[in-house]
Amino acid sequence: MAFTGKFESESHENYDEFLKLLGIPADVIEKGRSFKIVTEIVQNGNSFTWSQIYPDKTMTNKFTVGQESEMHTMSGKTFKATVNMEGGKLVVDFPNYHHTAEIVGGNLVECSTAGGITFKRVSRKL
pLDDT digits (tens, 9 = 90+) for 1-28: 589 999 999 999 999 999 999 888 898 8
CA distances from 110 to 27, 40, 102, 120 (A): 23, 13, 7, 6
Asked whether the beta carbons of 65 and 46 are under 8 A apart, the reply is yes
| Sequence-distant (≥ 6) Cβ neighbours of residue 58 within 8 angstroms | 51, 52
pLDDT digits (tens, 9 = 90+) for 85-108: 999 999 999 888 999 999 999 999
Give the long-range contacts of residues 86-91, CB within 8 A, separation 24 or more: 88/1, 90/3, 90/48, 90/65
Give the long-range contacts of residues 65-68, CB within 8 A, separation 24 or more: 65/90
- Residue 28: predicted pLDDT: 84
pTM recorded for the entire structure = 0.92
Asked whether the beta carbons of 24 and 43 are under 8 A apart, the reply is no
Percent above pLDDT 70 for the chain: 98
Q: Is 33 helix (H, G, I), strand (E, B) or coil?
A: helix
CATH class of 5-125: mainly beta
